[in-house]
DNA sequence: AACTATATATTATGATTATAATATTAAATG
DNA sequence: CATTTAATATTATAATCATAATATATAGTT
C-alpha cells in the first residue's frame, strides 16, 4: 500500500530507535534483522528499502544512541556549564547505578566500543566522531588556565576512568563490589581534573 | 579410532587455545563452533565430547586467555615487585601500541568485558574472579602506608583508565589521536597512584 | 588374536542469518 | 474515476548457527 507523505521517514526512525535500544542491550551481532523489524511492527523484507545493509543500520543506530546521550549531557551542563561542578554533574550522571542497570538507554560507547572496533572503518568513524565531542564536553569543564593539550590529556583520562569503571561495574557478580567500583570511578575521575601531574616520566 | 592416553586432553587444550585467540579477535558471537573446530583441525561434531555447550567453552577460553595475561604481568613484576616502577611496568605493558594492535593475544577484559556482561552469571563470575586478581596485582604496587580500602579504590581507578583508554585507542580512526590516547592513559594512571585525593565530595 | 572402550568423524536437525526478488495495496495524481 | 507510484509484505535463497545421534576406527585389555 502507498502511505502518507513522511510515513517512510517515520518508519525508518522507528527502526533506528528500536535498533539503538536493542544493539545496546544485546550487542550488534546478537540482533537479527527479522526480529528487529518484527519489534518495529514490520516484516523483515522491507528492511532493504530503508538501509543498504545491516552495517548501515548499525551506523544510523550508533548516531541515534550517541546523539541522545550527548543531548542529555548538554542539558545537565546547562545549570553549570563549566568548572568542577559541571564535571561532577557529568561524571555523576555517567556513574549512577541507574546507568549501570539500563545499558539499553545508556552510553553506546560503554556497551559497544569493543565490538565496533572490529567493524569497518566507516562504522568506527561514526563512534570516533561522537567520542571526540564527548571528550570536548569534558574538556570544556576544565580550568581555563590549562593548555588545550593538557585539557585533552585530562579529558581522555577522565573519560577512560568513566568508561572502564562502568564496564567493570556491569560485569562483576558481587553487587557490593559493583557499587564500590562506581564510587571509586567517581572519586578518581574528579581527582584527575585537579591533580598535579606526576613528574616521574 | 581410539587414541593414545592424554590425547583427548591435548585436543581439548588445542580447542581452548584456538577459542581464546579467536574470541578475542572476533568476539564471542562471531565465532562459530564449526569454524573453530576446523581451525583446530577437527570436525564440528566432536565438539560436544569436550564441552557441554558453547557457553562452557567460553568460560574455559576466558580462563585460558586471562591466565596467560596474568602470568605475563607476574613476570613483569619479578624485577620490581612493588613501588612506582612496578606500577609503571604494568601500565606500560598494557598501554603499548603492540598491545593495542594485537587484541587476539591481549587482555580479554578489554576485548570482551561488555559482551561477557550480557552472558550468564557463571560466565561473568569467571571474568570477575580474574578481574579481582588483576586489581590485586595493581594494588600490590601501591605504597604500604595506604589502607586496603584506599588501595582498592586506586587500583580500580588505575585499571579503569587502562581499560577505557586501550578500548578508545583501538576504535578511533585517527592513528595520531590513538597514540595520544595511549600516552594520556599512561600519564593518568601513574598520576592516580600518587595524587592527593580530591576534597570536593 | 579377539574384544572392548573411546576419541573423533559423519550426518542430520531445525532454527536463524543477511539479503533479494516479486507481489500487494492504497495514497497521490491526472 | 482511472492510473501511477511508493511503501511495505510475502516469499525465496543459500549460508550458517548450536546441538545431537550414530558410525567408524584403533589403542588398550584380556
The reply to whether A11 Cβ lies less than 7 angstroms from strand D is: yes
pLDDT above 50 for B167:
yes
**Helices and strands, number each (H, E), in chain A:** 9, 0
pLDDT above 60 for A1:
no
Per-residue pLDDT tens digits for A22-71? 999 999 999 999 999 998 888 888 899 899 999 999 999 999 999 999 99
Residue A194 confidence (pLDDT): 86
> Alpha-carbon distance A125 to A69, whole Å?
18
Query: Given the C-alpha cell 592513528, which residue does it identify?
Result: B175
**Helices and strands, number each (H, E), in chain B:** 9, 0
Establish if B157 touches chain A: CB-CB under 8 angstroms: yes
Q: Is residue B201 within 8 Å of B106, Cβ to Cβ?
A: no
Cα-based angle A55, A60, A61 (whole degrees, multiple of 5): 95
pTM for this one?
Answer: 0.93
Residue A112 confidence (pLDDT): 97
| Reported confidence tier of residue A200, pLDDT bands at 50, 70, 90 | very low
State how far residue A12 is from chain B, nearest Cα, in angstroms. 27
- The total of other beta-carbon atoms located within 10 Å of residue A193's CB is 23
pLDDT above 80 for B192:
yes
Residues in CB range of B159: below 8 A, 6 or more apart: A164, A168, B134, B135, B138
Per-residue pLDDT tens digits for A77-134? 999 888 999 999 999 999 999 999 999 999 999 999 999 999 999 999 999 999 999 9
Cβ–Cβ of B157/A196 closer than 8 Å?
no
Chain C positions within 7 A of any protein Cβ atom are 5-12, 16-22, 24-28
Residue A198 confidence (pLDDT): 43
Closest listed residue to residue B22, CA positions, set B72, B64, B56, B67: B64
> Which of residues 21 to 60 on A have a Cβ less than 7 angstroms from any strand D atom?
37, 41-46, 49-50
Q: Which of A190-199, B79-88, B138-147 has the lowest mean pLDDT?
A: A190-199
Tell me what percent of the residues of chain B surpass a pLDDT of 70.
95
State how far residue B1 is from chain A, nearest Cα, in angstroms. 38
How many CB pairs below 8 Å do chains A and B form together?
213
Amino acid at each position: 500500500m502507498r502511505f502518507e507523505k513522511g510515513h517512510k521517514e517515520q518508519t525508518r526512525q522507528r527502526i533506528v530507535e528500536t535498533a539503538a535500544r536493542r544493539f545496546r542491550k544485546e550487542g550488534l551481532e546478537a540482533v537479527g534483522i527479522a526480529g528487529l523489524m518484527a519489534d518495529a511492527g514490520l516484516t523483515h523484507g522491507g528492511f532493504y528499502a530503508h538501509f543498504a545493509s545491516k552495517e548501515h543500520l548499525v551506523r544510523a543506530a550508533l548516531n541515534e544512541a550517541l546523539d541522545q546521550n550527548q543531548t542529555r549531557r548538554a542539558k545537565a551542563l546547562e545549570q553549570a556549564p563549566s568548572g568542577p561542578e559541571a564535571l561532577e554533574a557529568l561524571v555523576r550522571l555517567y556513574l549512577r547505578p541507574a546507568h549501570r542497570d539500563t545499558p539499553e538507554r545508556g552510553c553506546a560507547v560503554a556497551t559497544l566500543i569493543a565490538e565496533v572496533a572490529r567493524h569497518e572503518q566507516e562504522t568506527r568513524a561514526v563512534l570516533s566522531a561522537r567520542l571526540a565531542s564527548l571528550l570536548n564536553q569534558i574538556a570544556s569543564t576544565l580550568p581555563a588556565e590549562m593548555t588545550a593539550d593538557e585539557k585533552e590529556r585530562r579529558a581522555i583520562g577522565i573519560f577512560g576512568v568513566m568508561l572502564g569503571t562502568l564496564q567493570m561495574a556491569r560485569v562483576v557478580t558481587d553487587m557490593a563490589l559493583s557499587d564500590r567500583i562506581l564510587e571509586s570511578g567517581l572519586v578518581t575521575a574528579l581527582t584527575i581534573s585537579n591533580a598535579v601531574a606526576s613528574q616521574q616520566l
